[in-house]
Structure 1
Amino acid sequence: MAEWPHLIESDILGLPHGFLTGPQSDRGELDRVGGDLPTVSLKQVHSARALYVESPWGEMERPEADALVTDRPGLRLAIVTADCAPVLLADEKASVIGAAHAGWRGAVGGIIEATVALMVECGARAEDIVAVIGPAIAQDSYEVDERFRGEFTDEDERFFAPGRDGHYQFDLESFVAWRLSMAGVGMTDCLGIDTYANPTDFHSYRRASHLGTPTEGRQVSLIALPR
């Protein structure tokens, strides 16, 4: 039996949202977040590009980016992940929402800052934004090497625990939470759920790679601005 419900939510985010479980995340469950609304998604490329959504685009027209922001009621934003950190954001007072795909490369490159900045352009106040970091690979499961460590600054040392010789354990969730804090976000909830260590509920790209099994599966994370 799955340890987590099919739709995981955070108590601090009042707008419709959720992180779907299941190795393939049944997209038929999308309407559990916000009801019968059009869903907007992206071709995610590990970039620092955040896009404003004024109206839905077709599945074949999805642009390349890694975050979505809207202030238009009646839209549902969706991102997919498989070890990277899904981040859902909202300023309920301003009725502005965002969804970001934050892998290590996007987080280092500035995807969090780009998302918050675009939300502020839409009328949000950074200090009023609430963010939730969903299921992602945890530090105990995320072994990295010296080359990976070299992509970060000396200031980031606290996010790397010593590992076996020439390796470290990287804390992606804490790194993303810190970037949210530095961007001025008022409150962040870290769910602390390890995709790698929960094969019943979550697909993990790294786990699949280690096991030699298909790596295509993804989880879907959603946030909606009701009509």
Structure 2
Amino acid sequence: MATTLDCLTDPALEPLTHGFFTRKGGASSGIFHGLNCGLGSSDQSEAVMMNRERVATHLSVPVAALVGVHQVHSADVVTVSAPFDKAPRADAMVTDRPGLALSVLTADCQPVLLADPDAGVIGAAHAGWRGALSGVLENTVREMERLGARANRIAAVIGPTISQRAYEVGPEFMESFLVEDASYDRFFAQGQGDRLQFDLPSFGLFRLRKAGVGQAHWTGHCTYSDPERFFSFRRSVHRHEADYGRLIAAIRL
């Protein structure tokens, strides 16, 4: 079953088991066709659970050990020592416990997997523009350090996310960044009229490198531009679809 999944891995995170899963190989149908892992979507819960079980099997963990948080576009990070009875409201997790798979759900936002294999510490973050601007990536690195990781040994990889050419925003969006730091104008390109194009993965990489990680890069996959492989919230809006699937990314010790 797991062999049918299309899972992107990155050498920077080796030898740890990890993956940025695409929508291929799932049990969902209709607008959710494929591997929709979002329990918060309006997809059939049985299909979502089957998809999550396939991901867990691929990662060689029980589905109960596929841990996630209730994502709220915050900068909050939780340290995980055991599977949750109820998922806390946060947007990133760290752990040093073998056998747990930390997972995040995305549909244009950045899924970020982090690891310091020498220390036996991993992290996973959901970083949309709000979370990235408010410090979720730096906070994740900081919490990994509390568990014994060293920032300069941490590898951080941004998975499939919306690219600059597909991320059109208005001037008020850019203003939210410029009030924090005027130099953030470099992450925006001029679009049509007063529209701008925001470079979310470049901003994520900047914040990761500012946090001192040893290596950081983006896989280069755009969620919006590849409907066969990826779900995209923005594409679903443009197509006037009622809902959208969620991609899953996960890493385990």
- TM-score of the superposition, structure 1-length normalised? 0.93
Q: What is residue 163 of structure 1 aligned with on the other side? A: 191
- Where structure 2 has 5 or more consecutive residues not aligned to the other structure, the ranges are 24-33, 38-50
| Aligned residues with identical type, % of pairs | 47
Check the 8 A contact 1:17/1:33 in 2, yes or no.
no
Q: What is residue 97 of structure 1 aligned with on the other side? A: 122
Runs of 4 or more, structure 1, over 6 Å off, are none
Once the two structures are superposed, residues 84-123 of structure 1 have per-residue CA deviations (whole angstroms, 9 ceiling, x without a partner) of 0000000011000000000000000100011000000110
Q: How does 1:20-39 map to 2 (within 5 A)?
A: 20-22=21-23, 24-25=36-37, 26-37=51-62, 38-39=65-66
Identify which of structures 1 and 2 has the higher relative contact order when contacts are C-alpha pairs closer than 8 Å and 6+ apart: 1
Which one of the candidate residues 177, 182, 186 is aligned to 2:214? 186
The DSSP-based 3-state class of the residue aligned with 1:106 is helix
AA partner of residue 201 (structure 2)? E
Give distance in 2, aligned partners of 1:213 and 1:34: 31
The DSSP-based 3-state class of the residue aligned with 2:59 is coil
CA RMSD in angstroms comes to 1.2
- Where structure 1 has 5 or more consecutive residues not aligned to the other structure, the ranges are none
Which one of the candidate residues 30, 40, 45 is aligned to 2:72? 45
Greater fraction of residues in helix = 2
Q: What is residue 30 of structure 2 aligned with on the other side? A: none
Q: What is residue 111 of structure 2 aligned with on the other side? A: 86
Check the 8 A contact 1:80/1:86 in 2, yes or no.
yes
Once the two structures are superposed, residues 10-56 of structure 1 have per-residue CA deviations (whole angstroms, 9 ceiling, x without a partner) of 11111110011115253232125530241110100000000000111
Which one of the candidate residues 147, 155, 178 is aligned to 1:130? 155
Which one of the candidate residues 117, 139, 142 is aligned to 1:117? 142
